[in-house]
A and B are shown apart, each in its own frame.
Chain A
Amino acid sequence: MSTGVRAGRGLASRLALLLLGLLVLLPPLAVMLYAFSERWDRSLWPEGATLQWLAEVAALPRVRAAVGQTLWLSGVCALLALLLGGTASLLARLAAPRLLALLDALALLPYAIPPVVVAIGALELFVGQWGGWLDLRLVYVAVATPLLFPLMHKTLGAALEQLDVQPLLEAGRTLGASDLHLLRRVLLPLLAPALAAGLLLCWVTAAMEFAIANLLLGGSVEMLQPLLNGLRGVNGHQSAALVVMSLAVVTALGIGVEGWMAWNARRNSW
């Protein structure tokens, strides 16, 4: 291949990457600009920089209530996914490898069934039958938690593969340790960063979930995503400010977990 052709291909790939980057970054950048501008309806460019919308949205009782509900409910979903999904995934890999294929298949299910279908099914099954006395938040947790399982299963699976736990387990057993002791003393500390990453991923995914929160809880419990959608029709700047705040919190948490994982990996790797 000639030098000219190679250089041409290199340029084309860089351009494609740049275009892809723009496509991905443009919407959040636009939302950010909208959140920090006084108005953006008279010309192509936003006008006046302000923190007014951020301050307003932070003070709105409706927003505070929705953020509180969302953090609480998504936190419960994420914790359950960590406890149930994490335990199932860990046990299958360490003690019952035959179950792994089943769990892998289960982890694909949430992608095969759209959340809207899940929400409508839950409405028909629970709200239609026992809506009078069943707490809808419980139904939400029961429906949303399984959707988070793939995130925990895959995150944990990758961490376990990287750790190569079998020799550690065998070494521990020959030293007289029970599997439970090994789990507590060796495996869980080594897996802690991966568990934290999985928990964060589940929490963010649950907090950003729209279809089930809107269809199942709409009208009774207001969650962040339906509120964002609703707020858009009232004051787009406030809605954008809320998105920016959410993004800032998630980014800060993500950087924190990533930093911890990198530090831990450096400390423990050969």
Chain B
Amino acid sequence: MDGMERAPELVVTQAALQLGGRPVLRGVDLALQRGELVALLGASGCGKTTLLRSVAGLQGLDGGRIEIGGQDRTQAPPQQRGVGVVFQQYALFPNLSVLENIKFGVLCDGRGQAEATRRATALLDLVGLQAHRDQRPARLSGGQRQRVALARALAREPSLLLMDEPFSALDENFRVPLRRSFRQLQRQIDQTCLIVTHDREEAFELADRVAVMFDGRIAQCAAPAELWRRPASRQVAEFLGAFNLLAADVAPGALLRGGGCWAAPIEALQVVEEGAEALADPATGWTLRARVLASHFGQQRVSVELRSEAGDPLQLWRRHDQAPLAAGQLLTLQVAGPALQHLPQ
């Protein structure tokens, strides 16, 4: 993506908001390039939905500025922001047919019945719901409703599409194929998109960049690969749940630090089999011993819970075809130097 050469579609500057005396947004900065998909990822109550609602104009700000398509829209009502929104529960109008739901926004723009029908028909083809055009939303499955909500939000050709947990109401069987087909569609029409999710896998699979939010702030906004490799803080690393964190003040040799911790992706932690040579470069890597607490059989791998001799909780991923590890077993483990990143306290 040639993001740097294109004008930003959305710029949020120092967005601040208090609700009921509690700060919900604390100076949030965020910019989306045209055609880019950014996921706001965070736990419940971190402010991600409030930020999305503020961009949509459904929630006012105490301070800060929101620019959409290069224009200041901070005070504009939702009708005049030119954004499309897919709500968590879709909020389809139950008294209108699928076609009428999709036409609704186009007609509100005063573009006339013929144009609205043409646009809605094209979108029905795009989301594969032509056969259901005359049905009411109540007659559709969850996945079909989600696609109607998407088509309705796209019908006005918004410069920015906002989606609030759009796949969370779906069964896992439908969720994964639907979000993949959405991603394909989003790329196909080059739609700028801001998605709120608490699902890490969803965020990483869909987004060009992921903004990790804590307590009303964006702690890190980076491409998925960058986040996996280089979390900006211990908090981000802990939230992503894909790292082993090792206390830096008990580290060996050159890794020893006065504080903070060393983070290494879970897959970087390897068992040193008996008789095998430890690390290629013991000067930069870390060899440690840990005891097996429990093994959890997952769909794709076995996750082994360990505790290091220094007391750090560790996680080890094993293939299903590898020999099982018994609880209480003492292992020698290693992490290669390049996988380690020091995170200050």
Contacts and interface: CB of A to CB of B under 8 A. Distances in A.
Interface residues of A, number: 20
Interface string B293-305: 0000000000000
B109 A176 contact: yes
Given A173-B58, A174-B84, A176-B108, A268 B77 contact: no
Interface residues of B, number: 28
Contacts of A181: 108
B94 A190 contact: yes
A176 B111 CA distance: 12
Interface in B179-225: none
Given A176-B79, A177-B108, A268-B138, A170 B87 contact: yes
B260 to A, nearest CB: 44
B105 A173 contact: no
Q: Is the interface of A mostly helix, strand, loop or mixed?
A: helix
Contacts of A170: 58, 78, 85, 87, 91
Interface string B61-101: 00000000000000001110101110101011111100000
A167 B58 contact: no
B91 A167 contact: yes
A269 interface: yes
Contacts of A167: 87, 89, 91
Contact of B87 (A171, A190, A268): A171
Given A170-B78, A171-B85, A186-B95, A177 B104 contact: yes
Nearest to B92: A171
Q: Choose among B58, B83, B94, B153 the residue with the greatest number of A CB atoms under 10 Å from its CB.
A: B94
A28 interface: no
A186 B78 CA distance: 18
A190 B138 CA distance: 14
Given A181-B108, A186-B93, A189-B95, A174 B138 contact: no
Nearest to B109: A176
Contacts of A176: 79, 105, 108-109, 156
Interface of B: 56-58, 77-79, 81, 83-85, 87, 89, 91-96, 104-105, 108-109, 136-138, 152-153, 156
13 contacts: A167-B89, A167-B91, A174-B84, A174-B85, A175-B156, A176-B156, A185-B93, A185-B104, A186-B96, A268-B94, A268-B138, A270-B94, A270-B138
Given A170-B58, A173-B57, A177-B79, 20 more contacts: A167-B87, A167-B91, A170-B85, A171-B85, A172-B93, A174-B79, A174-B81, A174-B83, A174-B85, A175-B84, A176-B105, A176-B108, A176-B156, A185-B93, A185-B96, A186-B96, A190-B95, A267-B138, A269-B94, A270-B94
